[in-house]
Amino acid sequence: MSRIVLGVSGGVAAYKAALLLRAFTEAGHDVRVVPTPGALHFVGAATFEALSGNPVTTDVWSDVHEVAHVRIGQKADLVVVAPATADLLARAAHGRADDLLTATLLTASCPVVFAPAMHTEMWLHPATQEHVATLRRRGAIVLPPAVGRLTGPDSGPGRLPEPADIAALASVVLASGASALARDLDGRRNVISAGGTREPLDPVRFLGNRSSGKQGGALARVAAARGADVVLVAANVDLPAPFGVRVVPVGTAEELRTATLAESSGADVVVMSAAVADFRPEHEAAAKLKKGSAAEPSAVPLVRNPDVLAELVTKSVPGQLVVGFAAETGDDDGDVLSHARAKLARKGCDVLVVNDVSAGKVFGLEENAVVVLTADGGVSEVPPGSKDGVAAAIWTAVAPRLGGGPEA
């Protein structure tokens, strides 16, 4: 059980902190909520106390004998501030200690994660950007805000990331430390495909696969948290869009090919984590094929789909990294890794992430384990963990292979 301090500052998004608190407690963590006085205008202390099972106070004058303004931060394994308003970021950057939350931030030696939420103009203001840069320089993790509906009719960057996204990234930091969300992808343009393509047989049926897109979504979420400009080409993915990520929805292999090739122009990294159907029906019927009808097929002829990964490799430019995925099972011709090494050589990509999908593994599950193979012979095993944790390990293996800076 980890000890998490959940800081809540005074913005309308404070109501989402209750959902984040529930996610933390359901994961088995001991959570101490430390709101600012302004936060209690939006959510009452009783709510946070009931959900956390711990007392809630905003000032340093309560429980003086426990020296709470020092002890809370000292004992924490992780501090998450959500929402972090422009005012809170400014006070944290300047080292203020004028309430219990800012005092706690000064005494915490554990990783600290800020999830900003404010109007677009406030987020983009040079003062706020300088405060964010200061906090990051000191080792804090400041997540990029989501883009979407704000208070009233306004829309743009400044929306609080969804609690599920914050909780997923917090779990990665707890498991692997602040380095799991290092800013080593800052300014990089990443294109990631995810999900599984569907090849229509008739208006009702299709040929598809079991990919849920969860691993690709985790790769996009972690890359955005590590500073990348991310485009997610999502094939039939029934999941919320990760914050800070532009999503391009597609259905078939040909649609995925067209979108990925178009988006990959100028990208630093292209990750083909989508499960692209190798074959599609030769003909798509205009009407539903019915049993016993004259149109009932005795067989369904298949044709090959384009090899998107191989085409991305042939069209890649110097300095662009192409990362492939292989969902493999062992058979009489070889084990999972031997098949994967052959695929790496055949496709010519820079990195191949290998999934052992035998016996119902990986697809649709919350955990994963992979082996990362590189074209120069490198092998890195990523042990079982959350898909966000696996994504962080993959990016840690990929990031050092990027040449030059984004301005190069």
Q: Catalytic amino acids? A: 209
Closest CA to 368 of 231, 247, 217, 255: 217
Amino acid identity, position 296: E
The answer to whether 250 touches 256, Cβ cutoff 8 Å, is: yes
Three-state secondary-structure class, residue 249: strand
Three-state secondary-structure class, residue 274: coil
Extended strands (E) in 71-216: 78-84, 112-116, 141-142, 146-149, 155-159, 189-195, 199-200, 206-207
The answer to whether 242 touches 214, Cβ cutoff 8 Å, is: no
Number of other CB atoms surrounding residue 97 within 10 Å: 16
If 0-12 CB within 10 Å is exposed, 13-18 middle and 19+ buried, where does residue 400 land?
A: exposed
Closest CA to 237 of 250, 225, 221: 250
Helix 308-315 × helix 253-263 angle, to 10°: 20
Alpha carbon distance, N-terminus to C-terminus of the chain: 45
Closest CA to 161 of 106, 219, 73, 222: 222
For 122, the token pair is 């406030």
What residues contact residue 61 under an 8 Å CB cut-off, 6+ apart? none
CA atoms within 13 A on the CB side of 329: 8
For 210, the token pair is 């079991």
In whole angstroms, give the CA distance from residue 249 to residue 193: 10
- Which of left, alpha, beta for 257 (phi over 0: left; psi -120 to 50: alpha)? alpha
In whole angstroms, give the CA distance from residue 151 to residue 12: 8
